[in-house]
Amino acid sequence: MAQGLTNGFTEKQLALYSSQYYERADLVFRFGALLTLSREGGERLTEEVYRALLQDFSQVKSSTSPVVLLMALAWKAFNKIKTQKFHEWNLPILQSIKALGVEQRAALYAIDIAGLEVGEAANLFSSSDAAVRQMLAEAQRYLAVNAIRV
């Protein structure tokens, strides 16, 4: 068996990273792409998330919910990069939904795609359950009354 540390991580940590976090890179990327409406933005956000994750990875416990942690880091990363300009991704689904506000998109993704509870999303966004519900209502109304192209 391979022994010792690689990039400062133990085998156990590498296994945890690989199976629980690295495997969810696309979940983070889609969130980033949806918020920035850009492939470039999605990749940038994803890289930020994983760099931040690995900075304190020794503190991450196996009992931590990877989705909740990744989404929290992704929201932080978005707030860090949101002023940057990225090439817009001419993807029909992103074009169809770009009229919706970023917070509404974030709430819709967090709850309906990532599967977070409203309370977890409220913590993530440092907001209240009611505010998240409001954002979600607006996002879902958008889907109900607008044409969505894919």
Partner 1 sequence: MASSKSELKGEELFYSYISEYLDGDLPAALQTQFSAVLSSKQKELEAFQVNRGKFQSALGEIGGSEALKHKLRNLAQEDQVRETIEASEIAEVERSEFWSNVMRRSVLVAVVLGLVGYAIYYFMPEKKFDVIEYIGYEALALEEDPEGRTNLPSTDLEEIRQFVKTVPGLDFTPSLLRPIKGWNPEGVSIIDYDVMKVVAVNYISPERGNEHLHHFMVPGKMSDMKYRGDEANYRGITYRVYASEKLNIIVWQQTSDMVSVLAGHRSASEMAELARAGTPE
* Residues at the site binding partner 1, with contacts judged by CB under 8 A: 1-2, 6-7, 9, 14, 17-18, 22, 25-26, 29-30, 33-34, 39, 42-43, 46-47, 50-51, 54, 57, 91-93, 97, 103, 106-109, 111-113, 125-128, 130-138, 140-141, 143-148, 150
CB of 143 to partner 1, least distance (A): 4
Which of 19, 65 has the CB closer to partner 1? 19
The full length of the chain comes to 150
CB of 144 to partner 1, least distance (A): 4
Nearest of 70, 73, 79 to residue 103 by alpha carbon: 79
Distance CA 109, CA 132 (A): 12
Which of 69, 97 has the CB closer to partner 1? 97
Distance CA 107, CA 117 (A): 10
Q: Which token pair is 81?
A: 């990069």
Give the DSSP letter string of 100-114. Answer: S-HHHHHHHIIIIIS
